[in-house]
Amino acid sequence: MSFIAPVQDMLFDMQYLADLDKLAQDVPAYADAGMETAQAVLQEAANLVQDVIAPINFQGDKNPSTWKDGVVTAAAGFKEAYKQYVEGGWQGLQHPGQYGGQDLPKTIGAAVGEMCNAANISFALCPMLTDGAIEALLTAGSDELKDKYLPKLVSGEWTGTMNLTEPQAGSDLAAVRSRAEPVGDGSYKVFGTKIFITWGEHDMADNIIHLVLARVAGAPEGVKGISLFVVPKFMVNADGSIGDRNDVQCVSIEHKLGIKGSATCVLQFGDNGGANGYLVGEENRGLEYMFIMMNAARYAVGVQGIAVTERAYQHAVNYARERVQSRPVDGSVKAPVAIINHPDIKRMLLTMRATAEGTRAMAIYAASLYDIEHNHPDATIAADSQAMYEFMVPLIKGYSTETSLETTSLGVQVHGGMGFIEETGAAQYYRDAKILTIYEGTTAIQANDLVGRKTVRDGGAVAKKIAGMIEQTEGQLAQSGSEAAKAMLESLTAARKSFLEVVDFVVNNTKSDPNAVFAGSVPYLMLAGNLVSGWQMARALLISEQKLAEGGNDDYGPAFYQNKIQTARFYADQILSRVPAVGYSILKGHGATNAFNVDAF
Amino acid sequence: MSFIAPVQDMLFDMQYLADLDKLAQDVPAYADAGMETAQAVLQEAANLVQDVIAPINFQGDKNPSTWKDGVVTAAAGFKEAYKQYVEGGWQGLQHPGQYGGQDLPKTIGAAVGEMCNAANISFALCPMLTDGAIEALLTAGSDELKDKYLPKLVSGEWTGTMNLTEPQAGSDLAAVRSRAEPVGDGSYKVFGTKIFITWGEHDMADNIIHLVLARVAGAPEGVKGISLFVVPKFMVNADGSIGDRNDVQCVSIEHKLGIKGSATCVLQFGDNGGANGYLVGEENRGLEYMFIMMNAARYAVGVQGIAVTERAYQHAVNYARERVQSRPVDGSVKAPVAIINHPDIKRMLLTMRATAEGTRAMAIYAASLYDIEHNHPDATIAADSQAMYEFMVPLIKGYSTETSLETTSLGVQVHGGMGFIEETGAAQYYRDAKILTIYEGTTAIQANDLVGRKTVRDGGAVAKKIAGMIEQTEGQLAQSGSEAAKAMLESLTAARKSFLEVVDFVVNNTKSDPNAVFAGSVPYLMLAGNLVSGWQMARALLISEQKLAEGGNDDYGPAFYQNKIQTARFYADQILSRVPAVGYSILKGHGATNAFNVDAF
């Protein structure tokens, strides 16, 4: 169950799809973060995840983190691995130098995040949640809060959590009931129960900084009355040292389908007089801040989908190389061969590979937009990039995770009966992946975001801009004229046209007939995610053809480019080609959905 | 986690799609097995599965069957439930009256099987394997073997197993190494290790009759040297009483992803001198007999797929009715509503429902073909039905189980975060379902069967005959002209045309370019299964329209017919409409698959 970080593919995406060297050139903040840095960082990260974090994945699943009397003991090896993660400075990778971080672009950070998650989703969740807490504090925290908490969060010595969900408030945060009472000194007492809090309690760090949504007494109902608080597990003294235990307890952890290595906690705030909490930003703007944090987290969950696809793929490839069964269908060998030679096994492995490469390309491309958004000196370019990035976040979260359900299932399938045996390890990915389409907003919630904020709000402008860029790529494919480029052109054109039809449908009907649009919102997300991933594969195909025409004798080498072209062509023929059928179901399929009487289910 | 057997939908399929009353009329053997009998049997079965078998499903998953010192203790409640199953005479439902069975048609038996599996797959596997053993003995066993074993198998007092797989022989049975040595008295000593033997050992019955593939010393290599043996757990004395323990031991059971209630055994034959085995039929014809058994088992596994879809659907519906979250998107209610009202939840539930109904309709229709094949007095009609039935077996096995992966995933998704918590119960179906695409032949093995034996062998004749029948249904849809019929017509026509293109491709290329065909064999199976299910939904739609036109005041009632029409329309718009894209990927997609160098994975 060894894992090899896909460093080369990541570097290719950075270099040619995200144009990292141009980013370094154009954006002073990233002047030192070109390909050379990327290469060094990724190689170092690969060493860590391969040697330290991946090997404890299976055991963490078999013997999960445990709870006893409010204390959570992380799965075996996790504490030690986390120590190495902190010592390597990995938590601070994308965070400001001002607080001890390394100021690297998300374009690099996202790739490291993928590796880490491919190695061990349960483990990687802890730093991922800390990232979210850092993001929220950076966005809205007072200087006092920042100075107090950020250095230790950025170093990873303390970890962070996001406390949103309550039993009655899952997708609908308007229903949050946790409350906060001002005590007069600017701080609050926080009361309430939060569920599904990932790594809400553990023994890997000295302190845990909970970011908690709660209502201040007298706040308006609904989402406009929710505030965000910092509630540390241990109070922090003025000198930065750890003080008394705060009034927050982990009362239980969940027995889950997957990501068993991570503790998913029920946290009880304020049972003994109230947990000390500190307002982040202004009262009643909590949801707004949380969304910033959540957008980062949603992108990161999308990356988890890519990661588990990659891991499942590698696992399946290894098995398919070793397992000998049946003669080739073409009679070329008169004896059983390794199953990797059978066309259906190749089809399954290529589906996994093409999905991993396509979604990775989309995510890394999007990360570069985020970096431009945040640090490009030209405000127009930054704003354009922001709009593109925000359009892509629900695709990355939704499409990369939904497809991971298919890929991890194929991963089990490649193993045949052995896949169903837990000792084989393939089943873990299938179980782990299922949370990805749920947490940080289900796919339906992502689709609502895509429809409402990302498509309807600007009248489909960004969607159409992306379609225009895709059309340019189609022009390049037509110029190439190779067999692979023609195949890609056919699928990409059909997919883009279908996308445009759906965008028009969404823009024109969301207000007048919202049920019609939302009956197809998830299919719209899947269509768009497939298209944007396919578009990046098309770009990768063109670049690879160009590099091969130039000889291909660079760090990647001709074989890399040839494989990229074949994988892109597979994506075109077998995955991107599904788009028009999805478009059809969106445009035609809402009638039956909405006509069906709910009492009749 | 209550379960209600979908009796009405099953009866509808029997009455109008399978035309059970006509079967009873035309086939003397089933003269008493018309709709009246079906209704009585299904209601009785529903009582048993709802009250006895379903309630122990969740606990069986949580506290699986256990192994100690060679003894397997079935999960709590299983032994008692099995006793009731036997006492009710359910094992003999489809089996000959000569051996104590009830001589009922498969058309009824399959529905009972679905209920039983929906209630509890782990439990239902035991009678299912016994069915296989009965089938093999009926087909090829000597009168002596039949008389000795069938009465107790048909009553369910003894259970049966299928022993095919060995560590090196999974999909490829040519690699079987277990061996049998004649001892001179007509019996054999059997030696070898068999793995993945479902209910290979347990405490629910007095004896277990293993059907075992092994090679007789000196037999030819490959599949032509495999023979089939009966190896009882306990020897059976001449008077039918239980004798000494035979030399077969359960040396371990597997730790599995799902179907944990059932014991999956490693069986060791002959470690103490050889297990007494009795040849079934002739030497070296074992695979042929086993295929008869396997065809029955493959159909039954397809039914398991339908069953788990139905169970996951009901579970999700119940949750969606109770869970209140978020306001309606159309603003019709100014407060949170039960999530069943949200369009995306409806889309997911309808996907599950339409899949259950479509695959059930296909399976029950196919069962009637089986019954005609086996008992119709007109040999031509019987032969035609056989050809149609055999074409459909891989579709039922492959399509109904592959779709169950999607439906059980949607079932978890409907539950949101709660779906990921094992206590909720939805995750069990997701885990259970994953074996269905693997055992009794993976989907790829089914697809090989579909391509080779079922399509190429007759030059696509049966496939085209089915397409012709579908075209007739299209004519009826055109005549109807209702909105639903028009929607169905559009999808069905497009799907049939795509199917015909693929059939031609398969027929024309399997010999000359097998890699091209087999790169798309599973998609071909999925396409064909979708089409045949959609066809049955189209027929159901037409019948429902006709019944409504007549007032619909029968046992089903107008609401049933209206829901059937909407579900069929949903199937058309959202599921059947996927077919042409699959066709495209088959015709265009093989190039990339086969061009990809296996060393490059």
Query: Tens of pLDDT along B188-245?
Result: 999 999 999 999 999 999 999 999 999 999 999 999 999 999 999 999 999 999 999 9
CB A518, CB A451: distance < 8 Å: yes
Alpha carbon A240 to chain centroid, angstroms: 33
Look at A257 and B588 and tell me if their CB atoms are within 8 Å. Answer: no
Q: In degrees rounded to 5, what are phi and psi of residue B71?
A: -100, 130
Task: Let me know the angle formed at the C-alpha of A181 by A179 and A185, rounded to the nearest 5 degrees.
Answer: 145
Q: Hey, is the C-beta of B335 within 8 angstroms of any chain A C-beta? A: no
Q: In this structure, are residues A385 and A369 in contact, taking their beta carbons and an 8 Å threshold?
A: yes
Q: 3-state DSSP call for residue B228? A: strand
Cβ contact (<8 Å) for B346 and A598?
Answer: yes
Q: Is A405 on the interface with B (CB under 8 A)?
A: yes
Q: Is A477 on the interface with B (CB under 8 A)?
A: no
Nearest CA in chain B to A417: B438
In this structure, what DSSP letter does residue B50 have? Answer: I
| Cβ contacts of A540 on chain B, cutoff 8 Å | none
Angstrom distance (rounded) from CA B443 to CA B446: 5
pLDDT in tens, B275-300: 999 999 999 999 999 888 888 899 99
SS3 content of chain A, % helix, strand, coil (to 5): 65, 10, 25
Token pair listed for A165 = 């969900």
pLDDT for position A290: 87
A417 near B CB under 8 A: yes
pLDDT at B1: 60
- Counted across chains A and B, CB pairs separated by less than 8 A come out at 284
Residue A249: both structure tokens together = 């307890």
3-state helix vs strand vs coil in chain B, percent to 5: 65, 10, 25
Helical ranges in A120-239 per DSSP H? 121-140, 143-155
What is the C-alpha separation between A127 and A123, in angstroms, rounded? Answer: 8
Residues in chain B: 601
Secondary structure letter of residue A49 according to DSSP: I
Interface of A with B in 305-324 (CB under 8 A): 317, 320-321, 324
Of A483, A521, A573, the CB nearest to B585: A573
Cα separation, A248 vs A189, whole angstroms: 11
Mean pLDDT of B364-370: 98
Of B324, B420, B601, the CB nearest to A257: B420
Q: How much is the mean pLDDT over chain B?
A: 97
Smallest CA–CA distance from B352 into chain A, residue: A601
Q: Which of B343, B420, B573 sits opposite A434 (nearest CB)?
A: B420
Q: Does A172 touch chain B (CB under 8 A)?
A: yes
* B442 interfacial to chain A (CB closer than 8 Å): yes
CA–CA distance, A429 with A434 (Å, rounded to integer): 9
Q: What are the extents of the domains in chain B? A: 445-595
Q: In A568-597, which positions are buried (b, 16+ CB within 10 angstroms) versus exposed (e)?
A: bbbbbbbbbbbbbbbbbbbbbbbbbbbebe
**A417 closest CB neighbour out of B196, B427, B483:** B196
Distances in Å between the Cα of A443 and the Cα atoms of A140, A173, A401, B417 are 27, 16, 9, 12
B358 and chain A in contact, CB less than 8 A = no
Question: Smallest CA–CA separation between B538 and chain A, in Å?
Answer: 14
What's the one-letter identity of residue A70? G
Chain A residues within an 8 Å CB radius of B401 = none
pLDDT digits (tens, 9 = 90+) for B330-357: 999 999 999 999 999 999 999 999 999 9
% of chain B surpassing 70 pLDDT: 100
Cβ–Cβ below 8 Å for A344 and B519: yes
Residue B572's closest chain A neighbor by CA?
A: A589
Q: In terms of C-beta density within 10 A (0-12 exposed, 13-18 middle, 19 or more buried), how is residue B479 classed?
A: exposed
Pairing status of strand A248-253 against strand B66-68: unpaired
Q: Chain A: residue nearest B426 by CA? A: A257
Q: If we measure between CA atoms, which residue out of A501, A497, A514, A511 comes closest to residue A590?
A: A514
Q: Is A204 an 8 Å CB contact of chain B?
A: no
Which segments in chain A show pLDDT lower than 70?
Answer: 1
The CA–CA distances, whole Å, from A111 to A45, A404, A596 equal 9, 17, 44
Q: Is A338 helix (H, G, I), strand (E, B) or coil?
A: strand
Helix (H, G, I), strand (E, B) or coil at A180: strand
Rounded CA gap, B445 and B301, in Å? 14
Q: What's the mean pLDDT in B58-71?
A: 97
Q: Above 70 in pLDDT, residue B359?
A: yes
Is A135 an active-site residue?
Answer: no
> With the CA atoms of A582, A584, A587 and A592 taken in that order, what torsion angle do they form, in degrees rounded to the nearest 10?
-90
Q: What would the pLDDT profile of B431-486 be if each residue is shown by its tens digit? A: 999 999 999 999 999 999 999 999 999 999 999 999 999 999 999 999 999 999 99
Q: Is A161 strand, coil or helix?
A: strand
A152 in B contact zone (CB under 8 Å): no
* DSSP structure class, residue A220: P
Q: How far apart are CA A88 and CA B181, in angstroms?
A: 64
Contact criterion met (CB < 8 Å) for B417 and A439: yes
